[in-house]
Chain A
Amino acid sequence: MTDPRVQIDEQIAAGRYGEASAALEALWREKPSMLSVSFVESRVRRMADRVPLTACRMFFLRSFTVEPLLPFFKTEALLAGIDVTAECGQFGAYTQESMDPESALYRFRPDVVFLAVHLRSVAPELWEGGEAPARDEVIERTAGAVRNCVEQVRQRCGAHIVIQNFDCPADAPDGLLGDQSGAFHLVRAANEALKAAAQATRGCYVLDYDRFTSTVGRGHLNDERKWLTTRLPVRAELIPALAREWARFLRPLTGKTCKVLATDLDNTLWRGVLGEDGADRLQMDAEYPGASYRAVQRALKDLVRRGVILAVVSKNNPDEAMAVLNHHPDMLLRSGDFSALRINWNDKPANLREIARELNVGLDSIAFLDDNPAERTRVRAELPEVKVIEWPGDALDAPRTIRECGLFERLWLSAEDRERQTLYAQQRERAELAGQAGSLEEFYFSLQQRVTFEPVNARTLQRAAQLTQKTNQFNLTTRRCSEQEIAALMDDPGWMMATASVVDRFGDNGITGLVMAKFEDGACRIETFLLSCRVIGRTVETAMLAAVEQICARRGAREIRGWFIPTPKNAPARGMYAAHGFECIEEVEGRELWSRAAANGKAAPAWIQLTIEEKLLTSDQLFASA
């Protein structure tokens, strides 16, 4: 057998990045080892020209040794397309570091602050046994220390904060007697307090370390010798597992999650091949072996609740397959659960491209599930952006594979996430009724528009001011600004001042859009949103809102708000917020305030190539009001 490393290098050399990425992931999953760290890193970087990496700066405030975890953590991150730069604070100095505005923590300008405090550092008697302190005292000492630190960090910077909670000890000091009163009720009370602190703080999330240690096995995880000699709380063997658990947060924190799962049908959602076995002999009932496939369906239904959109890509006779989706008594999923259906004999990459277009998402937001290795290879070869889930050897393992692949992690749910599937279903029906969505789409595609979203700078300042003064039609608030006014806001880190330039197949339209927005209280307040009449009616505004949304994700804003102020001339802008999923939350003398959750919103239309200048994404002034 060929050395997998040699094979991976050949695939990269041949430009077969999709296959190389899958092989790298398989190599790492088989044995995450120090000996693979450099190999994986260098190969992922080599492919970054086509599969770009997202940078993430991460600072660890900690009470224990985390360094041996970092090579594994960074490798997990790279496999998810995220390039982590990490720095660690001093042992046990998390309180001071969080309070000192000049500390290494703030100088580092982190995107994510990870707070790793071990129970043994703050309340050793809960771990080692001894006189149990009073409940209030424990909560104050444990959760209080962490909460204080979280508050300090939130006041001083807008980074995401992840708190690792406390794990229950491996040994119960009071034996069975302790069980009668709930052996670790104090630890659990401290964790409840941590959860409350996280929920009360914008951009703060809990990593449930207690769940992790119980899943792995506390007795197995704990290495007393390592703790006593090096303050490392886990056995060397389990370092890769913990690093992976930490890394699960990176996709949702950097916005690299999948929005769509496109699934095959035969031998994926049911056992059997519809075209050969017939509907009556398909198995997806509650008994083995059908139960494995039923569990896959259940896992997919769970994803829908998280706001993931389902789609079918299957080589089948459409009438037969629809009959199963609609009427088979053992199906948990129904056709209404799917927002796009491609049941035909076309090749799957072509179908996936169509799905991306229909659902308005990028190919890199699509995950693909198929039991057939040939189809997976084909998709990897043609569409390296699509995330192909590796189907396990035994279908019984498939639900866990889907849950643990990390592609669909969410840290919060917006109302829209819950409603998304309905929205798409309605959209599909409308498009089918109108019967002309295709031709309009074709028109949009034919324009080959490229939109560049960049901060207002000295060169574009004059044009920006001019746009506010001259634009009447597609102008949501018709606020007129002078150059000086814009110049003052340009340097204010609480503001996002961005222009949109549009290039299409007919030429360069120059700077034709402007957004001025203030980041405040976790919200992005759009003060000015306008589009020159040159580019009205070409969905440029959708791309601009998508850019705003991506910037919100990076800046930690969860809501987008904006006024519509009617004038005799700006009717073309009137429907914009409603058309993009906003809700009118206030109306004062004809002026309307619109709002929408910023999480996981619409992507840029598939027919527009959107570029956001990195500076807009990397500002560390996340909650400038603080």
Chain B
Amino acid sequence: MTSYSLVLERVKAVVAETFQLPVEEVSEASSPDSIPAWDSLQHLMLVVGLEQEFAVEFSPEEVEELATVELIAELLVEKQESRAA
């Protein structure tokens, strides 16, 4: 598996846990539009969950960009690569 798909699976798991959904119902396209519970408070819960799980920190600007599961996974891969470099 590529590092993107590994990260994606973990992101889906965090999203599923945060919104109390079965993980199968979470896809790359999942967003506040497709998950009704995804409001601003739940977004914070998600961000904190991701920061914890991936041991990263997001800037306030990045937090606003995390609008879909795909964008989240991409940003995390980017952060991991820049840390490894």
Which of B49, B55, B60 is A34 in contact with, Cβ under 8 Å?
A: B49
Q: Which one, A229-237, A402-410, A469-477, A482-490, is touching chain B?
A: A229-237
Q: Mark A14-46, 1 if CB is under 8 A from B, else 0.
A: 000000000000000000011101100000000
11 A–B contacts from the bound complex (CB under 8 Å): A33-B53, A34-B18, A34-B49, A35-B10, A37-B17, A68-B45, A225-B60, A228-B60, A236-B47, A236-B51, A237-B55
Residue B57 lies at the interface, judged by CB distance under 8 Å to chain A: yes
How far is it, in angstroms, between the C-alpha of A230 and the C-alpha of B41 when the chains are bound? 9
Chain A interface helix/strand/loop/mixed: helix
Contacts of A235 in B (CB 8 A): 57
Q: Is A68 within 8 A of B17, CB to CB?
A: no
Contact of A239 with B52 at beta-carbon distance under 8 Å, contacts A35-B13, A67-B41, A68-B44 already known? yes
Q: Is A65 an interface residue (CB 8 A)?
A: yes
Chain B contacts of A225 at CB under 8 A? 57, 59-60
Supposing A35-B13, A38-B17 touch, asked if A67 and B51 sit within 8 A by C-beta, the answer is no
**Given A33-B53, A237-B55, CB of A232 within 8 Å of CB of B60:** no
A42-B40 Cα distance, complex, nearest whole Å:
27
A210 to chain B, nearest CB (A): 23
Q: Which of A35, A37, A68 contacts B48 (CB 8 A)?
A: A68
A235 to chain B, nearest CB (A): 8
Q: Give the CA-CA distance A35 to B17 in the complex, in Å.
A: 6
Q: How far is the CB of B54 from chain A (nearest CB, A)?
A: 10
A220 to B11, CA, bound (A): 26
Distance of A370 from chain B, by nearest CB (Å): 34
Give CA–CA (A605, B63) in the complex, Å.
58
> Please, how many residues of chain B have a CB less than 8 angstroms from a CB on the other chain?
20
Find out whether the CB atom of B53 lies under 8 angstroms from the CB atom of A34: yes
User: Is there contact, CB below 8 Å, between B60 and A236?
Assistant: no
A236 touches B52 (CB 8 A): yes
List CB contacts (< 8 Å) of A51-99 with chain B. Answer: 65, 67-68, 71
Q: How far is the CA of A278 from the CA of B15 in the complex (A)?
A: 59
Indicate if the CB atoms of A236 and B14 lie closer than 8 Å. Answer: no
Q: Which residue of A lies closest to B52 (CB)?
A: A236
Of the residues A35, A65, A223, A228, contact of B44 by C-beta under 8 Å: A65
Residues of A within 8 A of B57 (CB): 223, 225, 235-236
**Quick one: closest B residue to A69, CB to CB?**
B48
Partner of A35, one of B14, B47, B55, B60: B14
Report whether over half of chain B's contact residues are helix, strand or loop; otherwise say mixed.
Answer: helix
Min CB distance A551 to B, Å, is 36
Judge whether A237 and B52 touch: CB under 8 Å: yes
Chain B residue nearest to A231 in the complex (CB): B44
Closest to A33 in B: B53
B-facing residues in A488-502 (Cβ within 8 Å): none
Quick check: B48 and A236 within 8 Å, CB to CB?
yes
Q: How far is the CB of B78 from chain A (nearest CB, A)?
A: 18
Distance in angstroms from A100 CB to nearest chain B CB is 23
Chain A residue contacts of B44, Cβ below 8 A: 65, 67-68, 230, 232
A223 contacts across to B, CB distance below 8 A? 57
Nearest CB on B from A91, distance (A)? 11
A interface residues with partner B (beta carbon < 8 Å):
33-35, 37-38, 65, 67-68, 71, 223, 225, 228-230, 232, 235-237, 239-240
Interface residues as binary, B26-44 with A (CB distance below 8 Å gives 1, 0 otherwise):
0000000000000001001
The answer for the CA separation of A551 and B44 in the assembled complex, in Å, is 40
Cβ of B44 to closest chain A Cβ, rounded Å: 5
**Cβ–Cβ < 8 Å partners of B18 in chain A:** 34
Q: How far is the CA of A35 from the CA of B10 in the complex (A)?
A: 9
**Is there contact, CB below 8 Å, between B53 and A35?**
yes
Residues of A within 8 A of B49 (CB): 34, 68
- The residue in chain B whose Cβ has the minimal distance to the Cβ of A36 is B17
Chain A residues, CB < 8 A from B10: 35
Shortest CB–CB separation between residue A273 and chain B, in angstroms?
42
CA distance A391 to B60 in the complex (A): 42
A232 contact set on B, CB distance < 8 A: 44, 48
Tell me whether A229 and B60 are in contact in the complex, defined as CB-CB below 8 angstroms, given that A35-B13, A38-B17, A237-B55 are known contacts: yes
Which of chain B's residues has its CB closest to A65's CB? B44
List residues 53-71 of chain B with CB under 8 A from any CB of chain A.
53, 55, 57, 59-60, 63
A34 to B14, Cβ gap below 8 A? yes
Rank and list the top 7 A-B pairs by shortest CB-CB distance, nearest first.
A236-B51, A34-B49, A68-B48, A236-B48, A229-B60, A34-B17, A236-B52
A43 to chain B, nearest CB (A): 15
Chain A residues whose CB sits within 8 angstroms of the CB of B41 once the complex forms: 67
Q: Which of B14, B47, B48, B51 has the most CB of A within 10 A?
A: B48
A239 lies within 8 A of B48 (CB): yes
Chain B residues within an 8 Å CB radius of A35: 10, 13-14, 17, 53
Q: How far is the CB of B47 from chain A (nearest CB, A)?
A: 8
Contact A67/B17 with A35-B53, A236-B57 known, Cβ cut-off 8 Å? no
> In the docked arrangement, what's the CA distance between A37 and B53, Å?
12
B 1-30 to A, binary, CB cutoff 8 A, 1 in contact else 0? 000000000100110011010000000000
| Nearest-Cβ distance from residue B40 to partner chain A, whole angstroms | 9
List the A side residues contacting B14 at CB < 8 Å.
34-35
Which of A33, A223, A236 counts the most B-chain CB atoms under 10 A from its CB? A236
How far does the alpha carbon of A35 sit from the alpha carbon of B49 in the complex, in Å?
Answer: 9
Point out the residues of chain A lying under 8 angstroms from B60, CB to CB: 225, 228-229
Q: How far is the CA of A65 from the CA of B18 in the complex (A)?
A: 16
Given A67-B44, A67-B45, A68-B45, answer yes or no on A34-B59 (Cβ-Cβ < 8 Å): no
Q: In chain B, what residue has the closest Cβ to A72?
A: B52
How many Å lie between the Cα of A38 and that of B14 in the bound state?
11
Residues of B within 8 A of A237 (CB): 51-52, 55
| Closest CB in chain B relative to A74 CB, distance in Å | 13
